Amino acid sequence: MNYDIKFNDTIQRQIVRQLRSLDRAASAEGDDEALLRKVSKTKLLGAIGAASGLPAMPQVKELADPQLLAGCDPSVLSQGMFAPLRCADNQILLAVANPWDYRADEFCNARFAEHEIFKVVTLASEISATIERSSQSTGPSRAELEALDIEHSGNEVSDFDVTRTHQEPIAQLVASMVSDAIKRHASDIHIKTEKAQFFYYFRVDGDLGPKVEIPLKLKDRLDAFLLNLMRLAPEDRSKRPGMSGRFTASYYGRSVGIRFERHRSYRGYHITMRLLDKTHLEPRLGMGTLAFDEVTLFELEKALAVPSGIIVMSGPTGSGKSTTLNAMLRELNRPEDNILTLENPVEDEIPGVTHCDLRDSSEFKPMISSFMRSDPDVIFIGEVRDRESAELAIEAAITGHKVLTTIHTPRASQIIERFQQLGIERWKIAQTLKAACAQRLVKLLCHNCRQTCEGIPEREMRLFNLGPEWAKKKLFIHRKEGCNECGGRGYLGRAALLEILPITPRTGDALAKGELTPYELEIEIRKETALPSLRDNGLRMLSEGKTDLDALRRVLDLTYLE
Ligand SMILES: [Zn+2]
């Protein structure tokens, strides 16, 4: 069921019955399980409300009185998935995610015996958000930690609840560190040992925060606790240079995946924990900013599945090339693959991937030679900018590696010419290039203040080669003065436009023999595959009302037709 709470069969049947009577589309679906998988959470909530006889409210967190909540134990609330919202005139407004759970009544009967309880049903995520807002995370004090006796602990935990109170101080330390990181929307937690210091800090919005010191003597104990949490053998830690694992933190009933990477260091270890908080996801292919159309996405995944060869992303600076490549690295990031990156600077650290930063261009050659000796499967080269880097990238691909890189050219088909300009023979590029991509980031209209407009003016239609169908199209444009939501900009967020040219063995061969120019190749691939170009993708977003011509013409040359 597409819902955070599991109901028993009897209740589920009642909910399904309500769903079918409330929604015509739902009544058409024959299979209960299929219906529950497809239906939106809000519709489901409506049905749960109808089945339980309670009013359904998809949003309640704004209603919550922080003082009332502060008096309740957050772990009791999150276990029973309920939250008292307000209290007035001996009446309590209580939000529950599961109307059939007795724990809310039990709690309120004991706690608010004198009050009349008014229940509403809401989404589990709303309950979590309500509890999360009101709670303060507290960790053990430094004095408490200093007073700890070091002893070995052997108990195993897999789903680690970071929002309840733990008896064992090390567990409490990890719990408060992780819950604090989730609360601050950190992307990573780093734990580092130095000569005389042991500390952790968070990365939030790309920046590392202040250090939080931990008594040095807890170094081994904390290490052992974390390795134990992931069932990694602690005796390996001095032998193995790197260890990876993952565990799930339970944060007010919400699961947050944590990817763990530990490197042995001179003074002990360096741990990176990447928080895979689903509510603040880092860019992933097919989602958020990188929500490409299905055909493009499929072609991209196909290119990634090729065992060796080079995938090149082109576009001007700031077009999000490396964001997409990093999302691709995340797709490729499996424990059995050795992924090395050579970047200047390292933009997005992915646990499990060995990132190397180039201090200056003279380091490139020795670094890549060293890479090739360290048994890589995937190599990410930040940018091909000169003959040397072009040669080494192609060489790595020819010798059986998967290479991802970026280059500065406006269009995907120009990638081949750019490599030639850098002195690479065409047959070598044709043989190794698996996909040529180009990308732009286009601003999205603020949904709150975008304005409708009727078609595109005649002059602009001619200027940008738009067909007669654009004269009457219902479109949206940005509001110049914006609104509060978008900070007066009229736009909110950006989305990536991507064009991809897959190079098949046949087209690669024709290209190598000089039977096709890169431009002809592009025309041919488009004819064969119906893959959209940057322009096609841009115009699609325009007609969908996601962006306007103003934003589009800033990032795309629309004055020619391909
Ligand atoms: Zn706005």
Do 370 and 443 have their domain in common? yes
Domain boundary among 280, 302, 320: 280
How many A from CA of 447 to the centre of ligand 1? 7
Do 226 and 336 have their domain in common? no
Do 58 and 206 have their domain in common? no
Do 57 and 163 have their domain in common? no
| pLDDT mean over 467-484 | 91
Strand-pairing partners, residue 476, are 452
Name the residue with higher pLDDT: 320 or 384: 384
> Is 560 a member of any domain?
no
> Is 413 a member of any domain?
yes
| pLDDT mean over 415-430 | 92
How many A from CA of 454 to the centre of ligand 1? 20
Statement: residue 3 has pLDDT above 70: no
Do 249 and 347 have their domain in common? no
Domain count of the fold of the chain: 3
> Is 139 a member of any domain?
no
Do 301 and 195 have their domain in common? no
pLDDT tens figures, 230-256: 888 888 888 888 888 888 888 877 778
Name the residue with higher pLDDT: 393 or 6: 393
Cα atoms in the Cβ-side hemisphere of radius 13 Å centred on 189: 25
Domain boundary among 222, 252, 280: 280
> Is 3 a member of any domain?
no
> Is 465 a member of any domain?
yes
Statement: residue 38 has pLDDT above 90: no
> Is 159 a member of any domain?
yes
How many A from CA of 548 to the centre of ligand 1? 14
pLDDT for 456: 92
Statement: residue 121 has pLDDT above 90: yes
Counting residues of the chain whose pLDDT is more than 70, the rounded percentage is 92
Statement: residue 498 has pLDDT above 90: yes
pLDDT for 81: 87
Residue 365's pLDDT band, with cuts at 50, 70 and 90, is confident
The gap from C-alpha 410 to its chain's centroid, in whole angstroms, comes to 27
What is the chain's mean pLDDT, rounded? 85
Domain boundary among 258, 280, 302: 280
Q: Give the Cα separation of 370 and 456 in Å (integer).
A: 56
Statement: residue 100 has pLDDT above 50: yes
> What is the token pair recorded at 463?
């200027």
How many A from CA of 441 to the centre of ligand 1? 19
Residue 9's pLDDT band, with cuts at 50, 70 and 90, is confident
How many A from CA of 229 to the centre of ligand 1? 45
What is the identity of the amino acid at 150? I
pLDDT for 103: 87
> What is the token pair recorded at 172?
């409490």
CATH of the domain at 163: 3.30.450.90
Do 125 and 91 have their domain in common? yes
CB 319 within 8 A of CB 295: no
What domain range includes position 197? 155-280
How many A from CA of 444 to the centre of ligand 1? 11
How many A from CA of 84 to the centre of ligand 1? 33
CB 217 within 8 A of CB 268: no
Name the residue with higher pLDDT: 131 or 440: 440
Statement: residue 152 has pLDDT above 60: no
> Is 38 a member of any domain?
yes
pLDDT for 374: 83
Name the residue with higher pLDDT: 278 or 107: 107
pLDDT for 277: 64
> Is 41 a member of any domain?
yes
Do 302 and 271 have their domain in common? no
| Three-class SS state of 13 | helix
Residue 138's pLDDT band, with cuts at 50, 70 and 90, is low
CATH of the domain at 334: 3.40.50.300
How many A from CA of 391 to the centre of ligand 1? 48
How many A from CA of 451 to the centre of ligand 1? 10
Residue 548's pLDDT band, with cuts at 50, 70 and 90, is very high
How many A from CA of 8 to the centre of ligand 1? 44
Do 89 and 189 have their domain in common? no
pLDDT for 208: 73
Q: Tally Cβ neighbours within 10 Å of residue 367.
A: 18
Which DSSP letter does residue 281 get?
P
pLDDT tens figures, 62-95: 888 888 888 887 778 887 889 999 988 888 999 9
pLDDT for 361: 75
Residue 281's pLDDT band, with cuts at 50, 70 and 90, is very low
pLDDT for 245: 84
Name the residue with higher pLDDT: 540 or 359: 540
Backbone φ and ψ for 274, nearest 5 degrees, come out as -90, 125
Q: Which residue stretches of 39-118 are H helix?
A: 41-52, 66-70, 74-80, 102-111
How many A from CA of 445 to the centre of ligand 1? 8
Statement: residue 406 has pLDDT above 90: yes
Residue 49's pLDDT band, with cuts at 50, 70 and 90, is very high
Do 57 and 18 have their domain in common? yes
Name the residue with higher pLDDT: 505 or 25: 505
Do 476 and 368 have their domain in common? yes
How many A from CA of 115 to the centre of ligand 1? 43
How many A from CA of 479 to the centre of ligand 1? 7
Residue with tokens 């307000």: 86
Which of 9-18, 486-495, 496-505 has the weakest average pLDDT? 486-495
| Three-class SS state of 474 | strand
Statement: residue 453 has pLDDT above 90: yes
Statement: residue 150 has pLDDT above 50: no
How many A from CA of 290 to the centre of ligand 1? 22
CATH of the domain at 56: 3.30.300.160
**Nearest CA among 473, 447, 479, 455 for reference residue 546:** 447
pLDDT for 95: 94
CB 275 within 8 A of CB 156: no
Do 297 and 272 have their domain in common? no
Counting residues of the chain whose pLDDT is more than 90, the rounded percentage is 33
How many A from CA of 492 to the centre of ligand 1? 7
Statement: residue 153 has pLDDT above 50: no
How many A from CA of 480 to the centre of ligand 1? 9
How many A from CA of 109 to the centre of ligand 1? 45
Based on its alpha-carbon atoms, the radius of gyration of the chain, rounded to whole angstroms, reads 28
